[in-house]
Chain A
């Protein structure tokens, strides 16, 4: 009390002036600017490293690490004349187009039904669309073959019942259906988000005018979906162009080649691979995928003008479709059960049996042998450990890089901010197998000490997988940053923090949940990734995916199923633990 009293008596003394801080500069550049240059430099090296060797190789007459290479266009001529590339282009086009169409047929009605109508079990069905996040398309393909393949469980049941199997999984059609089932959730998410954001009062207006639910659906709701449908189809198309798993497993036995399997067979399976043709094919594929990404970016830019978002959140009114709703719910249920649940459960079950066929009860041959085989070979155990290490380290490193890139791209006056964004998002245009080829050659070109360190080492795989995961991480952190008002960092700046200080003192803790989210995403993405490893792995640095392929080729489908089960388990455990951590932080 005494202290308080004296304080009150004492006249208000003008305090000593606290001058604004001075920040040190090196060559006239502050630490913030320096940081920004470092970020763009890392990104540029990271993204350009796999592309330049491919371009160079495509115009060189011999393997690029051999001396005396001569520049030539001969590789491209060869590619189109005698390498059978024409058929490959045709196959790829048929596969990609039919995948896109099928995906939309599955996804668009589903989004409309789940978001905009009173659907039985609507919420559960909507949530179940997240399954592809946990399960790689490689595992899904194994599951489909186990059930619907020529000797699959369901195929045999059907043959016994009606005398023949009305489908052939090992065809372009079978490939497209499987791929469409795997990609439908992506298209679903786009359409569902657009439907959630659109203004519900538009529908109320139609209702006031006297329109019935179906009328509203077809003349108001579905026309508004045009932008997300266009965007999703381009995205699905480009993903179908680069996918490896389904074409590799379905197409190889019947010799149907698409872009990715062409690179796989020419690069890995021939005894003396023709690097020139490999480079030329990779370059062409890159051109196509980059073109689709450009179109995609352009469409997205335009589509944002369409979407009607009002400041006030309006709860979408759900239309009542009556019995049609039940039919819709049944359709979605069929998709979820036969598309994903049964194949995955079948695969898990397969991992615990010796033989998996309806001809003999699988319960008679329950066994742990499949797991035993994996855990007796050190190389197989090693591949599991490798996958976890790669995904674990990669998740942290790539999320940090993505966070830095988002900050520079979205929250700085750096001259090359846009370039940083393009570099961070660019890798989505590079198919995984081309990333593998590119880094393989890039490491070969490096001086022995450095190249040797990366070639065939886990570090090399982290780099290659990381490149593939970077756009995902960037895309997940960026919206979180955009939601943080710019005025918060401006307030830090006027208070005396430099750009870097504003991040460290204010934004860092606000962005922590988004950063954890990115870590989860990157971990799962890298856990599922394997295509780049086909070129980069040595005997000791295989990952779960490459080991599964190896076991598959050997005919060990039981162990493949066991390994798939292990991968799903690791992913699920990691996501569960990491989300808990995220939640704990958000509460604090």
Chain B
């Protein structure tokens, strides 16, 4: 299974830069996910690899074979790239049975009749649908259609598998099972896979590595753990998982230990952070809801990062409780197993668990507005 090398990819639609210097390498057999909100350029990147879009500049090579190289004028059309692709709508040809859908790429490649039959049987077997080979697509459920689409993309043993939000049309319950099944199948086959999604849960659970994209830029590439625990920017932190953001000013700094005065209530918190910060600088503190702990208000014994708050809302969401706490003008989201908290409480977090970003970088103005209360 070959590696995919995408270097310095640019794409312009009219005057709009859809892709800006996209550069990454996917290792052999890796499950690589392009993650980002809609319109970030992830599908355009995938389509450039597939050859359905032509990049304005840059190059793409698979297994050392150049597919696109704008400088050398190389462009291999889609049909000669030998890639397998599953589309968001599955794109099964409605007038053909499942078997005929799978047969088409094989007859284009002039496979012999017996070879064809065997390959179709194998591919359908892999997705557990060989008993449905004479059905028409409209006679299948959404999940079955999605598996047929996958079988069709695999039947000719392509070099790379491209998946464009293949699970987004399934209902929520089925999606979780389909995700686990897809992961097993990909590991069995060991095929290099490029996966596009806007669903962070999918990205985290499926991928070997994730590339997070915003507005045509690749913001961070890393393992799911790196992306979740050390997001490179506040945008990544906000997009992958939920996060509380507080603006503040850096008051003091000793090595990695920073002291930040929060704008919302004037309290000083301690955060351990890498990176270049200067005293007096405006900063944004980001803390994930599950990294915050609520303790009942007890005897006054202030420790590090103990904030006095009160409970505004409490919602029971099944496995846990979600609290909304007032911190000055802000509402802080906290996840807790304890459902009995009320009134004045304390909010505690570990200095290692908070993230610090330079400047006032509130990812979503609208979301932030919803998280503000009148003092």
Beta-carbon nearest neighbor of B107 in chain A: A505
Contact (A495, B108) CB under 8 Å given A20-B79, A490-B52, A510-B95: yes
Contact (A491, B85) CB under 8 Å given A496-B108, A498-B79, A501-B79: yes
Judging by beta carbons under 8 Å apart, are A23 and B80 in contact? yes
Q: Give chain A residues whose Cβ lies under 8 Å from the Cβ of B118.
A: 15
- B373 an interface residue at 8 Å Cβ cutoff? no
Docked Cα-Cα span, A501 to B50, in Å, equals: 17
Please pick, from A487, A493, A496, A510, the residue contacting B109 in the complex, using a CB distance under 8 A. Answer: A496
Judging by beta carbons under 8 Å apart, are B79 and A491 in contact? no
Q: Give chain B residues whose Cβ lies under 8 Å from the Cβ of A23.
A: 77, 79-80
Docked Cα-Cα span, A163 to B152, in Å, equals: 81
Interface string of A488-527 (1 = CB under 8 A from B): 1011111111100100011001100000000000000000
Q: Give chain B residues whose Cβ lies under 8 Å from the Cβ of A18.
A: 106, 109, 111, 156-157
Interface string of A12-26 (1 = CB under 8 A from B): 100101111111000
Contact (A491, B87) CB under 8 Å given A15-B157, A496-B156: yes
Whole-angstrom distance between the Cβ of A176 and the nearest chain B Cβ: 45
Docked Cα-Cα span, A488 to B101, in Å, equals: 11
Q: Give chain A residues whose Cβ lies under 8 Å from the Cβ of B19.
A: none
Please pick, from A490, A491, A497, the residue contacting B108 in the complex, using a CB distance under 8 A. Answer: A497
- B58 an interface residue at 8 Å Cβ cutoff? no
Judging by beta carbons under 8 Å apart, are B109 and A20 in contact? yes
- B343 an interface residue at 8 Å Cβ cutoff? no
Which bracket fits the contact residues of B? Answer: 35 or more
- A30 an interface residue at 8 Å Cβ cutoff? yes
- B88 an interface residue at 8 Å Cβ cutoff? yes
Give residues 63-98 of B contacting A (CB, 8 Å).
77-85, 87-89, 91-95
Contact (A21, B108) CB under 8 Å given A15-B157, A487-B87, A495-B152: yes
- B119 an interface residue at 8 Å Cβ cutoff? yes
- B105 an interface residue at 8 Å Cβ cutoff? yes
Judging by beta carbons under 8 Å apart, are A488 and B93 in contact? yes
Judging by beta carbons under 8 Å apart, are B79 and A490 in contact? no
Docked Cα-Cα span, A506 to B101, in Å, equals: 10
Give residues 78-104 of A contacting B (CB, 8 Å).
none
Docked Cα-Cα span, A30 to B80, in Å, equals: 12
- A70 an interface residue at 8 Å Cβ cutoff? no
- B360 an interface residue at 8 Å Cβ cutoff? no
Give residues 13-57 of A contacting B (CB, 8 Å).
15, 17-23, 30
Judging by beta carbons under 8 Å apart, are B77 and A498 in contact? yes
- A209 an interface residue at 8 Å Cβ cutoff? no
- B104 an interface residue at 8 Å Cβ cutoff? yes
Whole-angstrom distance between the Cβ of A586 and the nearest chain B Cβ: 11
Please pick, from B85, B91, B109, B119, the residue contacting A21 in the complex, using a CB distance under 8 A. Answer: B109
Judging by beta carbons under 8 Å apart, are B85 and A490 in contact? yes
Whole-angstrom distance between the Cβ of A366 and the nearest chain B Cβ: 53
Question: What does DSSP make chain A's interface, helix, strand, loop or mixed?
Answer: loop
Interface string of B156-196 (1 = CB under 8 A from A): 11000010000000000000000000000000000000000
From A490, A494, A496, A501, name the one whose CB has the most chain B CB atoms within 10 angstroms: A494
Judging by beta carbons under 8 Å apart, are B95 and A509 in contact? yes
Q: Give chain B residues whose Cβ lies under 8 Å from the Cβ of A12.
A: 122
Judging by beta carbons under 8 Å apart, are B79 and A493 in contact? yes
Judging by beta carbons under 8 Å apart, are A505 and B80 in contact? no
Judging by beta carbons under 8 Å apart, are A491 and B93 in contact? yes
Docked Cα-Cα span, A325 to B152, in Å, equals: 56
Whole-angstrom distance between the Cβ of A12 and the nearest chain B Cβ: 8
- A208 an interface residue at 8 Å Cβ cutoff? no
Interface string of B119-130 (1 = CB under 8 A from A): 100100000000
Docked Cα-Cα span, A12 to B92, in Å, equals: 27
Beta-carbon nearest neighbor of B162 in chain A: A494
Please pick, from B91, B119, B122, the residue contacting A491 in the complex, using a CB distance under 8 A. Answer: B91
Q: Give chain A residues whose Cβ lies under 8 Å from the Cβ of B84.
A: 494
Docked Cα-Cα span, A494 to B78, in Å, equals: 6
Judging by beta carbons under 8 Å apart, are B104 and A492 in contact? yes
Docked Cα-Cα span, A405 to B93, in Å, equals: 23
Please pick, from A20, A413, A487, the residue contacting B80 in the complex, using a CB distance under 8 A. Answer: A20
Q: Give chain B residues whose Cβ lies under 8 Å from the Cβ of A21.
A: 79-80, 108-110
Docked Cα-Cα span, A12 to B84, in Å, equals: 21
Whole-angstrom distance between the Cβ of A285 and the nearest chain B Cβ: 37
Judging by beta carbons under 8 Å apart, are B108 and A494 in contact? no
Judging by beta carbons under 8 Å apart, are B93 and A496 in contact? no
Beta-carbon nearest neighbor of B111 in chain A: A18
Q: Give chain B residues whose Cβ lies under 8 Å from the Cβ of A496.
A: 79-80, 82, 105, 108-109, 156
Whole-angstrom distance between the Cβ of B204 and the nearest chain A Cβ: 27
Q: Give chain A residues whose Cβ lies under 8 Å from the Cβ of B111.
A: 18
Whole-angstrom distance between the Cβ of A21 and the nearest chain B Cβ: 6
Beta-carbon nearest neighbor of A508 in chain B: B95
Docked Cα-Cα span, A496 to B105, in Å, equals: 6
From B106, B122, B149, B156, name the one whose CB has the most chain A CB atoms within 10 angstroms: B156
Q: Give chain B residues whose Cβ lies under 8 Å from the Cβ of A17.
A: 157
Docked Cα-Cα span, A422 to B92, in Å, equals: 32
Contact (A19, B91) CB under 8 Å given A494-B84, A494-B85, A501-B79: no
Q: Give chain B residues whose Cβ lies under 8 Å from the Cβ of A30.
A: 77
Judging by beta carbons under 8 Å apart, are B52 and A493 in contact? yes
Whole-angstrom distance between the Cβ of B64 and the nearest chain A Cβ: 15
Judging by beta carbons under 8 Å apart, are A495 and B52 in contact? no
Beta-carbon nearest neighbor of A32 in chain B: B77
Q: Give chain A residues whose Cβ lies under 8 Å from the Cβ of B95.
A: 509-510
Please pick, from B78, B89, B105, B119, the residue contacting A487 in the complex, using a CB distance under 8 A. Answer: B89
Q: Give chain B residues whose Cβ lies under 8 Å from the Cβ of A494.
A: 50-52, 78-79, 81, 83-85, 153, 162
Beta-carbon nearest neighbor of A510 in chain B: B95
Q: Give chain B residues whose Cβ lies under 8 Å from the Cβ of A510.
A: 93-95
- A359 an interface residue at 8 Å Cβ cutoff? no
Judging by beta carbons under 8 Å apart, are B152 and A490 in contact? no
Contact (A487, B88) CB under 8 Å given A15-B119, A23-B79: yes
Docked Cα-Cα span, A492 to B77, in Å, equals: 12
From A413, A487, A506, name the one whose CB has the most chain B CB atoms within 10 angstroms: A487
Docked Cα-Cα span, A20 to B62, in Å, equals: 14
Docked Cα-Cα span, A496 to B50, in Å, equals: 11
Judging by beta carbons under 8 Å apart, are B77 and A487 in contact? no
From A18, A23, A501, name the one whose CB has the most chain B CB atoms within 10 angstroms: A18
- A124 an interface residue at 8 Å Cβ cutoff? no
Give residues 174-218 of A contacting B (CB, 8 Å).
none
Beta-carbon nearest neighbor of A30 in chain B: B77
Docked Cα-Cα span, A464 to B57, in Å, equals: 46
Judging by beta carbons under 8 Å apart, are A490 and B105 in contact? no
Judging by beta carbons under 8 Å apart, are B104 and A22 in contact? no
Q: Give chain B residues whose Cβ lies under 8 Å from the Cβ of A162.
A: none
Judging by beta carbons under 8 Å apart, are A488 and B91 in contact? yes
Beta-carbon nearest neighbor of A488 in chain B: B91
- A539 an interface residue at 8 Å Cβ cutoff? no
From B85, B87, B91, B109, name the one whose CB has the most chain A CB atoms within 10 angstroms: B91
Q: Give chain A residues whose Cβ lies under 8 Å from the Cβ of B78.
A: 490, 493-494
Q: Give chain B residues whose Cβ lies under 8 Å from the Cβ of A485.
A: 89, 91
Q: Give chain B residues whose Cβ lies under 8 Å from the Cβ of A509.
A: 95
From A23, A490, A496, A497, name the one whose CB has the most chain B CB atoms within 10 angstroms: A496
Contacts A487-B91, A488-B93, A510-B95 aside, 6 further interface pairs with beta carbons under 8 A come to: A21-B108, A23-B77, A488-B91, A496-B109, A498-B79, A506-B104
What are 23 A-B residue pairs whose CB atoms fall within 8 Å in the complex? A15-B119, A18-B111, A18-B157, A485-B89, A487-B89, A488-B93, A490-B50, A490-B85, A491-B91, A493-B52, A493-B78, A494-B79, A494-B83, A494-B84, A494-B85, A495-B108, A495-B156, A496-B109, A496-B156, A497-B104, A505-B104, A509-B95, A510-B94
The 4 closest A-B pairs by CB, nearest first: A20-B82, A495-B105, A487-B91, A491-B91
